[in-house]
Amino acid sequence: MRLAGKVAALVLLTDQLSKLAVLRGLDLAARQSIEVLPPWINFRMAWNRGVNFGLLANDAGLTRWLLVALALAIAAWVWWWVSREPHGRRVQVSAGLLVGGALGNVLDRLIYGAVADFLNMSVPGITNPWSFNVADVAIFAGALGLVLFTGGRDNPRDARKDMR
């Protein structure tokens, strides 16, 4: 459980510091776009008031608070689930990634009224119109890790059974 907490704290800190750096340090909100390693990596400012790819962004006021509540409920459930019985390192890291990322995006909604997305990756000849952030990557990686590593050999009790 301590590992999940450390990972969640690291993700939350990294996410919020990266957003401060681009919003305040690089003034991306005013500049809107900065080419870093075109077309591979660019900073493109996007205020996401909905969920992934701007879905459900129509009623921003109501959606904002529903998404805050939903993210907090999911993070709390994952935290409760991972803390109620022993889990291996991969599950702990995955849970920490998901919880830290969810809390990072919740903070954005509380502070800015929307999630600050700024990372944009494309390839030559194909321009990706969407931006994302560190929290989004952590949420995706954490959810994928929970799907892949839950119920398998990563569970300490399963590993002990295999050793008998």
Reported in sequence order, the residue ranges of the chain that DSSP labels E, i.e. its strands, are 33-37, 41-48, 115-121
Report residue 91: phi and psi, to 5°.
Answer: -70, -40
Is there a catalytic annotation at residue 117? yes
Cα radius of gyration rounded to whole Å, the chain: 18
Q: DSSP assignment, residue 25? A: I
Answer whether 111's CB lies under 8 Å from 68's CB. Answer: no
Which residue in this structure is represented by tokens 């907090």? 72
Give me the catalytic one of 15, 108, 136, 154: 136
Is there a catalytic annotation at residue 136? yes
Give me the catalytic one of 59, 117, 154, 158: 117
Which residue in this structure is represented by tokens 């305040």? 24
Element (H, E) at 17: helix 2-20
Rounded-to-10 torsion of CA 22, 25, 29, 35:
-60
Give the separation between CA 70 and CA 59, rounded to whole angstroms: 16
* Amino acid sitting at position 41: I
Q: Supply the residues annotated as catalytic.
A: 117, 136
